[in-house]
A and B are shown apart, each in its own frame.
Chain A
């Protein structure tokens, strides 16, 4: 026992160090969904329309509890469908509220029509989507749902950990309200949403310093100054709205990097649009990943000094500048392998589409690997197989578990 008490002393010492590292934070063990709810609460969201769908449900349930207990000054409404949820979110946001909700799979597909409207009404709504596929029917982890909505005009972040999901919501509101664009934070079903892990939860006054109260833009609904929304735009004016959107969406990547740095200064955790792991000029292979697969790939990379990892945190608008900046220093003989947990009914997955667009004109060899669809576990051995297969017998597109 004397041994364990000396361990305890060391622990106390280390704990103080950690506490210093994340000043004004509390260490909690949280599941991804609860970290998301915590994030929405800390950002002082005022309106939460909700409709349950596995594996998202515990997010809105946790928020409902928080509102019920009086921990949040928010209006929580149970709606009759996801289409209604997003319509209500749109209305409340038009009225000037800071709005949050969460959905998944079929819920997001059903809301598709309103997603366009929210983006082009320029409403700074932040949501979480816990990814799952459609048909063949399945409730497990898959990014087909959110990636199929990439052209709706929403900014998309893919979180790798519960910590990142919480931090992304905070930064998401900042970006959304700065540029009047909606932001979708995506987390993997179950491997993230239902996994308990270490999360440093910031004190709310820290967030208040970073994220000011939502400012009025003047375009809100105001009963003393009635306005009409959604009227018919004549052909000669239509593009003007598109141009304004285009100008702002083009600012997202830089703002993400800028605000990620600022967030790091204040919170102690720095973020950027993309993250390069072990990418050097002589790197022979780069794996491109989203969300939870990134973590497992990081582990496998320890056995493979010749392999690097490119994590896409911001996916939409695609962070072309950041990607090019990283690959600029890499030899042209390096192979790029995109790991796709999505199936958009095309030869290649969504990451490959975007990477090819970004790297148009370059001479990198690029390959695409489908894995982990419908929630299939992606253990380290799968990453290992991807590395070996692509080095030995590369093919354009591979289903790694089917020889």
Chain B
């Protein structure tokens, strides 16, 4: 009985080859055959085995082949991985698929054959370079060695291969003909077919005494369980798809214009690491207390938790961290750079840029036209939204870190160019836009009104019970209206679009309405006439096609004019920058370095460049500081954003989060806000902050929930010395349950091998 053992990789066609060889040798009717693979759970590329017996007599053995006469090696690289030569019979042969000469394998067996089956197969277009299907060529070589009929073999190959019969037949023939030499036909092997089962059991018993392959009973638990990977079965080589832990982008973080790592500071807060959490914010935003109050909370707008119940109250967490940190320790910075930087404007953009450059070691001076720093945060946001002392504390911190602010100094770029190497212009947008209607001079400017009232306590003629018409739909309009209310007036806002298009922060609009502010939508002023009061003529609007801002353009409805009477009219329809800094030249301000006729580099930042909120101005300040540094260091700088891999709700497993309601801030309620300038929105307590921060879903960031660890059927997930969850790829069979059950989409599951 001839016994053959094959070694190949899954996908090379070996099991089919052995079945075809069985068919070829049984074809004559002279021989009994038996062909079978070693049964495992195999996959493409994994080492596999197959067995073939050919005998003149009935085959009286159904076990694996341990002592082959002939070994077929379909991939020579397997020699390093698998004991391919084990148990070869004395006088036995090995056939290698290789381009090398038989001499290079001498000593491995009494007779070595080599055949370039990969080359032959690829020439015939069988399989791919990474996985050539070499079975027909290997069959051809075996036919030669065993002196069988190549024509019958070709016919059987043609009838039994799953595809490309002609190419496979040709490959077999090429291999058959290329195995030359007088002793290609192996008499020893042919002889073995004719004899019976020659003492296999004696050989095997001798093997057993040599090997210690019996597993000791004590090593096996009574119950088939494993809390660590099951050492009995290394299932890692089953894997086609591979899970890996990844950190993906969270929508809160990617949406923050300042660039704050929101997910991280929320996480640290939930662990009660308030100092570390504050530091994370401060890295991008030196105004957490301000932003916690007045930012539209871009981070909350795409919070994935909104799909489950209610988005996280991130603003309050930021506010809490900011307010408890006024007295905390600060780093101070040494001047290490020679280039001197001037910043024009002490608003959020200018101060942030100055702080960043100070951190980087640049001597930096901020020039402020007004007698106080803070820009629009100071002059444009009413006390009931942002108390003065909060802003004072955050600016004080910046100054304590070495930023020099010179107040009451309205400068032009020209004045600075001799003393500085770069000028950052961040003068904001403090000049109110005009409505361009006749007799507009009797209309008050909203931004001026807010400034004068807050800084000089000047109510600008607004008396108790005055009816005040406010034109606009932004935050200034809302702030003006709520200030009027507190002065005892009756404010009505007229806005040309609908509530949906209002640029004001939504919760501010809600609060204004709750306080008693009236808002009329889809109406715009067309005329004013002054008598003892003021008649304001309005025209109704309807929404047309979207404009460049993406909002639907308001279109007047002909003949729909109507008139209302008011005591005061205040316009809040937008602001523009003061061009004094450029000596009255009209400059198109844009983020970063601009073309300007000066002997120093000039950069723009803040409201005048882009945005319109405090947080955007802060982000703009961070960016301009990076750009200035890159400019002086001769490094490349790009305004391009890197592509983000943002976790979307569909990628989260909401079943693993308990629905809980958002911890809302207490809002001051009153029947009458007359003369009440107290802060309207109150902060949350420490215990409320802890509850709220723990509601974070940790989108795209492993929070060690252990679902993967619990669900892995092979216990292939372990906790490493740094207390992180990790995958043992020796045992991970690539089932994907971990990725499926990961609540926060922090496990990638893809068709690629992990290189450890």
Interfacial residues, chain A to chain B (CB-CB below 8 A): 4, 8, 10-12, 14-15, 18-19, 27, 29, 31, 55, 135-137, 139-140, 189-192, 194-198, 292-293, 295-296, 298-300, 302-303, 375, 377-381, 383-385, 401-403
Q: Are B204 and A379 in contact (CB under 8 A)?
A: yes
Instruction: With a 10 A CB-CB cut-off, give which of A135, A140, A196, A378 has the most chain B CB atoms.
Output: A196
Q: Are A375 and B39 in contact (CB under 8 A)?
A: yes
Known contacts being A8-B28, A296-B62, A300-B201, is A194 close to B33, with CB within 8 Å?
no
Q: Are A302 and B33 in contact (CB under 8 A)?
A: no
Q: Are B201 and A15 in contact (CB under 8 A)?
A: no
Interface check B19, CB cutoff 8 A: yes
What are 13 A-B interface contacts by the 8 Å CB criterion? A4-B147, A11-B28, A14-B30, A15-B29, A19-B29, A136-B224, A197-B35, A295-B59, A299-B61, A299-B197, A302-B197, A380-B197, A381-B205
Q: Are A379 and B33 in contact (CB under 8 A)?
A: no
Interface check B64, CB cutoff 8 A: yes
A-B pairs with the 4 shortest C-beta distances?
Answer: A299-B60, A381-B204, A15-B29, A380-B201
Known contacts being A11-B29, A190-B39, is A29 close to B60, with CB within 8 Å?
no
B288-319 interface (Cβ within 8 A of A):
none
Known contacts being A4-B149, A135-B224, A195-B34, is A379 close to B64, with CB within 8 Å?
yes
Q: Are B147 and A381 in contact (CB under 8 A)?
A: no
Q: Which chain B residues lie closer than 8 Å to A298 at the CB level?
A: 60
Q: Are B224 and A195 in contact (CB under 8 A)?
A: no
Give bound CA distance, A200 to B201, whole Å.
Answer: 30
Q: Are A195 and B201 in contact (CB under 8 A)?
A: no
Known contacts being A15-B30, A29-B19, A302-B196, is A295 close to B205, with CB within 8 Å?
no
Chain B residue nearest in CB terms to A299: B60
Q: Which chain A residues lie closer than 8 Å to B60 at the CB level?
A: 295-296, 298-299, 302
Interface check B463, CB cutoff 8 A: no
Interface check B645, CB cutoff 8 A: no
Give bound CA distance, A391 to B61, whole Å.
Answer: 23
Q: Which chain B residues lie closer than 8 Å to A293 at the CB level?
A: 62
Give bound CA distance, A15 to B37, whole Å.
Answer: 28
Q: Which chain A residues lie closer than 8 Å to B205 at the CB level?
A: 381, 384-385
Shortest distance from the beta carbon of A88 to any chain B beta carbon, whole Å: 30
Q: Are B66 and A379 in contact (CB under 8 A)?
A: yes
Known contacts being A27-B26, A29-B19, A296-B61, is A197 close to B32, with CB within 8 Å?
yes
Q: Which chain A residues lie closer than 8 Å to B30 at the CB level?
A: 10-11, 14-15
Q: Which chain A residues lie closer than 8 Å to B579 at the CB level?
A: none
Q: Which chain A residues lie closer than 8 Å to B197 at the CB level?
A: 299, 302, 380
Q: Which chain A residues lie closer than 8 Å to B33 at the CB level?
A: 29, 196-198
Select B61's contact among A140, A198, A380, A402, beta carbons within 8 Å. A380
Q: Are B62 and A295 in contact (CB under 8 A)?
A: yes
Q: Which chain A residues lie closer than 8 Å to B29 at the CB level?
A: 11, 14-15, 18-19, 27
Interface check B182, CB cutoff 8 A: no
Chain A residue nearest in CB terms to B205: A381
Give bound CA distance, A150 to B59, whole Å.
Answer: 31
Shortest distance from the beta carbon of A251 to any chain B beta carbon, whole Å: 33
Known contacts being A140-B39, A197-B32, is A191 close to B204, with CB within 8 Å?
no
Give bound CA distance, A292 to B199, whole Å.
Answer: 20
Interface check B642, CB cutoff 8 A: no
Q: Which chain A residues lie closer than 8 Å to B470 at the CB level?
A: none
Interface check B23, CB cutoff 8 A: yes
Interface check B755, CB cutoff 8 A: no
Q: Which chain B residues lie closer than 8 Å to A11 at the CB level?
A: 28-30
Q: Which chain B residues lie closer than 8 Å to A303 at the CB level?
A: 199, 201
Interface check B22, CB cutoff 8 A: yes
Q: Are B39 and A194 in contact (CB under 8 A)?
A: yes
Q: Which chain A residues lie closer than 8 Å to B196 at the CB level?
A: 302
Give bound CA distance, A39 to B175, whole Å.
Answer: 38
Instruction: With a 10 A CB-CB cut-off, give which of A14, A29, A197 has the most chain B CB atoms.
Output: A29
Chain A residue nearest in CB terms to B203: A381
Give bound CA distance, A18 to B32, whole Å.
Answer: 12
Q: Are A296 and B214 in contact (CB under 8 A)?
A: no
Q: Which chain A residues lie closer than 8 Å to B59 at the CB level?
A: 197, 295
Mask of B199-239 contacts with A, CB within 8 angstroms, 1/0: 11110110110000010010000001000000000000000
Give bound CA distance, A119 to B199, whole Å.
Answer: 46
Chain B residue nearest in CB terms to A8: B149
Q: Are A296 and B63 in contact (CB under 8 A)?
A: yes
A-side binding surface: helix, strand, loop or mixed?
Answer: mixed
Q: How many A-B residue pairs have CB under 8 A?
A: 118
Q: Which chain A residues lie closer than 8 Å to B147 at the CB level?
A: 4
Chain A residue nearest in CB terms to B156: A29
Q: Which chain A residues lie closer than 8 Å to B34 at the CB level?
A: 195-197
Give bound CA distance, A73 to B63, whole Å.
Answer: 38
Instruction: With a 10 A CB-CB cut-off, give which of B35, B201, B205 has the most chain A CB atoms.
Output: B201
Q: Are B28 and A29 in contact (CB under 8 A)?
A: no
Q: Which chain A residues lie closer than 8 Å to B36 at the CB level?
A: 31, 190-191, 194-196
Chain A residue nearest in CB terms to B24: A29
Q: Are B32 and A384 in contact (CB under 8 A)?
A: no
Q: Which chain A residues lie closer than 8 Å to B199 at the CB level?
A: 303
Q: Are A378 and B63 in contact (CB under 8 A)?
A: yes
Shortest distance from the beta carbon of B456 to any chain A beta carbon, whole Å: 81
Shortest distance from the beta carbon of B206 to any chain A beta carbon, whole Å: 9
Q: Which chain B residues lie closer than 8 Å to A292 at the CB level?
A: 62
B19-66 interface (Cβ within 8 A of A):
19, 22-23, 26, 28-30, 32-37, 39, 41, 59-64, 66
Q: Are A384 and B35 in contact (CB under 8 A)?
A: no
B176-214 interface (Cβ within 8 A of A):
196-197, 199-202, 204-205, 207-208, 214
Q: Which chain B residues lie closer than 8 Å to A4 at the CB level?
A: 147, 149
Select B208's contact among A19, A192, A195, A381, beta carbons within 8 Å. A381
Beyond A192-B62, A379-B63, list 6 extra A-B contacts (CB 8 Å).
Answer: A4-B147, A19-B29, A197-B34, A296-B61, A379-B204, A380-B201
Shortest distance from the beta carbon of A380 to any chain B beta carbon, whole Å: 4
Shortest distance from the beta carbon of A165 to any chain B beta carbon, whole Å: 13
Instruction: With a 10 A CB-CB cut-off, give which of A14, A135, A295 has the most chain B CB atoms.
Output: A295
Instruction: With a 10 A CB-CB cut-off, give which of A18, A302, A379, A383 has the most chain B CB atoms.
Output: A379
Give bound CA distance, A30 to B204, whole Å.
Answer: 29
Chain A residue nearest in CB terms to B29: A15
Shortest distance from the beta carbon of B26 to any chain A beta carbon, whole Å: 5
Give bound CA distance, A4 to B637, whole Å.
Answer: 80
Shortest distance from the beta carbon of B516 to any chain A beta carbon, whole Å: 64
Select A384's contact among B22, B201, B224, beta carbons within 8 Å. B201
Give bound CA distance, A296 to B224, whole Å.
Answer: 31
Shortest distance from the beta carbon of B69 to any chain A beta carbon, whole Å: 16
Shortest distance from the beta carbon of A129 to any chain B beta carbon, whole Å: 17
Shortest distance from the beta carbon of B55 to any chain A beta carbon, whole Å: 10
Chain B residue nearest in CB terms to A378: B63
Give bound CA distance, A191 to B28, whole Å.
Answer: 25
Q: Which chain A residues lie closer than 8 Å to B32 at the CB level?
A: 197-198
Chain A residue nearest in CB terms to B1: A299
Q: Are A379 and B200 in contact (CB under 8 A)?
A: yes
Give bound CA distance, A384 to B217, whole Å.
Answer: 23
Give bound CA distance, A300 to B203, whole Å.
Answer: 13
Chain B residue nearest in CB terms to A162: B34
Chain B residue nearest in CB terms to A383: B201
Shortest distance from the beta carbon of B3 to any chain A beta carbon, whole Å: 12
Chain B residue nearest in CB terms to A1: B147
Select A402's contact among B28, B66, B214, beta carbons within 8 Å. B214
Q: Which chain B residues lie closer than 8 Å to A137 at the CB level?
A: 224
Give bound CA distance, A11 to B18, whole Å.
Answer: 22
Shortest distance from the beta carbon of B5 to any chain A beta carbon, whole Å: 13
Known contacts being A378-B63, A401-B214, is A29 close to B224, with CB within 8 Å?
no
Q: Are B61 and A295 in contact (CB under 8 A)?
A: yes
Chain A residue nearest in CB terms to B152: A8
Give bound CA distance, A38 to B623, whole Å.
Answer: 76
Give bound CA distance, A196 to B54, whole Å.
Answer: 12
Q: Which chain B residues lie closer than 8 Å to A189 at the CB level?
A: 39
Q: Which chain A residues lie closer than 8 Å to B28 at the CB level?
A: 8, 11-12, 14-15
Give bound CA distance, A375 to B64, whole Å.
Answer: 12
Select A196's contact among B22, B39, B217, B224, beta carbons within 8 Å. B22
